[in-house]
A and B are shown apart, each in its own frame.
Chain A
Amino acid sequence: MIQNLLDILITGLILGGIYALIAVGLTLQYGVGRVLNVSHGEFILVGALSTYTLYVGFGISPLAAIVVITPVLFVIGYILDRMLFNYLRKTSVNADAFSGRSLLASFGLVFVLQNLMLLIWDANLKGYTYLNTSVSIFGALYGLNRLLALGVAVGVSVVFYIFIKSTRLGKAIRSAAEDPLIAQVMAVNVKQVLAICFGLGAAMAGLAGILYSMMFELQPGKGIELTIIAIVVVVFGGLGSISGSLIGGFVLGLVTSIVNFIDPSLSLVAFYLIFILLLLFKPSGILGRQIHAD
């Protein structure tokens, strides 16, 4: 019995770590830049597929690939924000118009990225196994790659928390998120900050992709599914709060884990049920921080 409970708990945390990792990039993009980037999942897949190529094609281990992939995706995200979303910010009459247009623009990106992925990597299922040694925790075995994902999720959230709280750039990001106008008055280069955030979000997506590729097989069509998970977690945690996404991810992971124990076929039903219940009764998320005064 205790063993069962421990299993549920640990499996839930691990799953939650994966969910949180998938979501952390989107949190940054939405929380600061107000862009609900539905192409987030595609970025994750780009990271995952690149890791696959680097590992299977060139023998570079996924852990080393982090050093290669995250900066590249950061740059891509930065440029995208400067060229695309910044223009939308400038030319939208109000915040609602911007959120609608940026949503649609990111939808266009989904098409573009999926096609590019199909062209660069073909449609075949790809996979590899890495770090699937088992680690014993409280008597049961768990995969090392999954535990790594959990560790990275927590680590990233902690690093970000410190980063946002203490560094100058972090403070600039916070002020740009709270009130862009005042931030600009205070000599914060809002345009740059927002672009950096978007780039960081893309880099986080890449990181999530690297870890994702260790555990699941890859196909270019999976992006939307990942985006949906990310959106649910982000809403759960309170749109825009990184620690919220982490906690939200864990809660969702635990819920999924418990439902899996009772009747696995209901896990998706439970997933979405919790989602809409949360929206009905506590839309500001678990941590209750309302960024946007809607």
Chain B
Amino acid sequence: MTAMALSPLLRGYIETTEKKIGSNVVQELTVPCISNFLSQKAEIQHSLSSMPLEKRLKTVSDVGKVWDEMLADGRLNDLRESLYRSTGYSLQMIDLELSLVRSALNGDHIRRNIETALPCNIKCLESFVDFGDGEETRCLPAGPVFIISSGNSLIPPLIPTTISLVTGNLTLLRPSLSNYAGVYAIYKIIDGLGTEEADLLARALAISYFSHDSPAFPYLLSEAPLGVINFWGGEPARTEISKYVHKNPFHPRFYINGPLTGFAIIDEGSASESAAMALAKNIVLYDQQLCSSPTQAAFVGSMEGASEFAKKVCASLSSVGQSIPMKTTEGSAYVLESARRFLRFKGSTVFQSNDPSNAWTVVLSKGKSPLDDVISALPEFNIYNRRRFIEISVISNYEDAVDLIKALPSRRAYRGIDKVQSVGLAVGETARKSLLECLAAAGVFRILPLEDMFMRSAAEPYDGIGIPSMFTYFVYAREKPILG
């Protein structure tokens, strides 16, 4: 395979060093170049945050519009192939992902997200806003913002980066290697829009890959005049990066979005075919690599009911999984089959597909899950390698489901995961109401219908916090003395 050159995206002075990382040739921005970019902080952030918010949102929407045109006329075909190779997802999955870019860049959605994250009128992003009694507030960029984004899909880097730009921040994005080409192609569009607003947004953005041993990392994390660092990912990078950040004399805010997973709860009364299809759909999308993807399920009811439901899930997986074939390798097939046998011989009921392009597995277990023992013997069968694999634990009451959620982070089978992010529910209304507080107390971030637990409302916070509030701060002004 020919080496793929990954160039940085930056307006103005560019200086790079070249590195070979696997099959990729990477041109990283040098420290002087980054320093030069950051030196424009005051000017660019002032200009951006003075620009009407609607113009910023329109520019972002325009990027999405052009993207859709490029997608429609085949200009993204090479990128499609490249992402197929670099991410390990199937072409059908890549197609789905590329088609979702426009929604991620939808100005209306971004506005709604900002509205729900900020405690006052979003006009405060342009100027002081009176909120009564002569009290005013102005929301300003807390940046420069440095985002180290995750690698599980193309869309996640777009959200914080776009919100950072729209809230007026000088923004430096370091995408993952696997999605670099996609992220680059999206933001490159800004360059060609030809408006004054687009020009300013383009000047506010730098994208570059930095390898783990790049001198840019110690500079950016420990020395650079940053306002916010936002890291998306898990260990060991998270701890290493934290050590650097603590040395930074500018004390940037440091936000970590760690590895999370999804959990499904189904009760016997709701175990319909549509619930089974909902679970199957969430399992197949991104092969469970999303933080919302259900990787474990609890069935509240009888073993017989669970078995019936499992069969429905199997049928749904067969149909929905066919439309998004998965990639399997000799090694992954071996580990999967060994794990299935291990579980079966340990007493679990295992339903499986032998179709390598849709190799789903549904495991029914009662009592202590043997999955942790499997991981001890087959450490390769970790959560990152389990694809289209769900263990349904049969339990007798809803409290047990909450206990399973609480116990999940300490289980060997979920090593590397901080906790459960999303809980998809297919339960009766009374059960749902009683579960809400218990699940919230268990630390989950999202409680959703099982049907679309992968969907994110524009109004939702991210892992417990609104991104716009991560990247901004408030200036308060009062006209009159309080004791007046």
Partners in one complex: no
